[in-house]
Amino acid sequence: MAAAAKVSEQALRLRERLHDADPTEGVSLDGPAGEALAAFAQSGVAFVAADPAMEQRHRDAVRELMACIKPTAGAQPILNEGGIYHGC
């Protein structure tokens, strides 16, 4: 019974942190990537974990994904995930 109570307390703390989570915490980008990051934050997406390393990996992944947003000659930037393809 004590183990279940401990898990429930941890779940409640995580839920509280999720409610207050800032998806842009630790991520700072300019230009089109910064605009996409702001839109991402406004979308309501949030992530928390019991392990701080998991939360850091999520912040790193958000930063890496947003850094793939590149300006184009047109009005809209594009997501250039994975770099240039040198195929046929």
Q: Could you read off the pLDDT of 5-63 as tens digits, one per residue?
A: 667 888 899 999 988 888 788 777 788 888 888 888 888 888 999 999 999 999 898 88
pTM: 0.72
Break the chain into its structural domains and give their ranges: 2-79
Tokens of 62: 């958000």
The per-residue pLDDT for 49 is 92
**Residue-by-residue DSSP string for 51-87:** SHHHHHHHHHHHHHHHTTEE--SSSS-EE-TT-----
